[in-house]
């Protein structure tokens, strides 16, 4: 499986058979990252009203849309383009300075090339026991690591320790490009791991093979697409 990070919470994951999924596309002038230039077969968004996570209309070409929050509110599962998606409702950060009332969004999971992937959406609070169960047996966790405006670091680390994903890819953290400069730098997440657990892609592209998944949790730090 090939994976590309565009910045914020947006990734493109492509299976060996060519099936591609883009997650949580953003509005470039809002977050500061370059427009997403790539097409995909499927686009998933964790909410329909957060421009940092929902701009499916800016993805080029034709694609199927998965509204993760709608999926979460209507049985929790759907199958699109040969890929099964599972979603669970979550609340945004309750003291979010941009919203008077915390918005609802969804965490979601899917599988490509036998690799179980979980995206944290925009969850802003400590996970409930049921939400923790949602992440059990995940291989690749796309993790909110910016702490401010999203899940707090101790709560995130509690989840990671309990479910032990094979690979954690940090997202939604502060960079020199990111315009919402209230977030934390990725180093504030990385200090929770031994340096030998951390790999650096040194690129916005990486390849993950099921046969090469580690036995214990490792962190893969990616650059963002320019």
* Residue spans per domain, the chain: 2-221
Amino acid 57: pLDDT: 97
Please, which residues have CB within 8 angstroms of residue 212's CB and are 6 or more apart in sequence?
A: none
> Which CATH number among 1.20.1050.10, 3.60.15.10, 3.40.50.140, 3.20.20.70 corresponds to the domain 2-221?
3.60.15.10
Question: What is the C-alpha separation between 120 and 90, in angstroms, rounded?
Answer: 9
Amino acid 181: pLDDT: 67
- Reported pTM: 0.94
pLDDT digits 0-9 by tens, 29-60: 999 999 999 999 999 999 998 899 999 999 99
Amino acid 109: pLDDT: 98
The residue to which tokens 């910016």 are assigned:
146
How high does pLDDT run on average in the chain?
Answer: 93
Question: Which residue in 180, 179, 192 sits closest to 150, CA to CA?
Answer: 180
Amino acid 140: pLDDT: 98
Do the Cβ atoms of 77 and 88 come closer than 8 Å?
A: no
Amino acid 97: pLDDT: 52
Do the Cβ atoms of 48 and 67 come closer than 8 Å?
A: yes
Amino acid 75: pLDDT: 96
Q: What does the chain come to in residues?
A: 226
Spans of the chain below 50 pLDDT:
none
């Amino acid at each position: 499986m090939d994976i590309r990070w565009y910045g914020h919470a947006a990734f493109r994951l492509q299976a060996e058979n060519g099936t591609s999924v883009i997650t949580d596309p953003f509005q470039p002038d809002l977050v500061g990252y370059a427009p997403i230039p790539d097409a995909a077969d499927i686009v998933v968004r964790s909410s329909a009203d957060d421009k940092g996570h929902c701009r499916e209309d800016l993805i080029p070409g034709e694609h199927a849309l998965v509204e993760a929050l709608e999926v979460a509110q209507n049985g929790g599962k759907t199958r699109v383009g040969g890929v099964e998606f599972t979603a669970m409702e979550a609340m945004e950060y309750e003291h979010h300075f941009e919203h008077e009332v915390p918005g609802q969004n969804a965490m979601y999971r899917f599988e490509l090339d036998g690799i179980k992937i979980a995206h944290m959406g925009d969850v802003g609070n400590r996970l409930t026991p049921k939400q923790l169960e949602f992440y059990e047996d995940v291989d690749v966790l796309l993790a909110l690591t910016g702490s401010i405006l999203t899940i707090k670091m101790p709560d995130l680390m509690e989840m990671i320790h309990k479910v032990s994903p094979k690979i954690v890819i940090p997202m939604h953290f502060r960079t020199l490009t990111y315009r919402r400069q209230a977030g934390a730098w990725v180093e504030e997440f990385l200090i929770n791991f031994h340096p030998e657990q951390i790999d650096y892609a040194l690129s916005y592209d990486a390849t993950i093979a099921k046969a090469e998944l580690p036995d214990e949790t490792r962190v893969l730090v990616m650059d963002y697409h320019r």
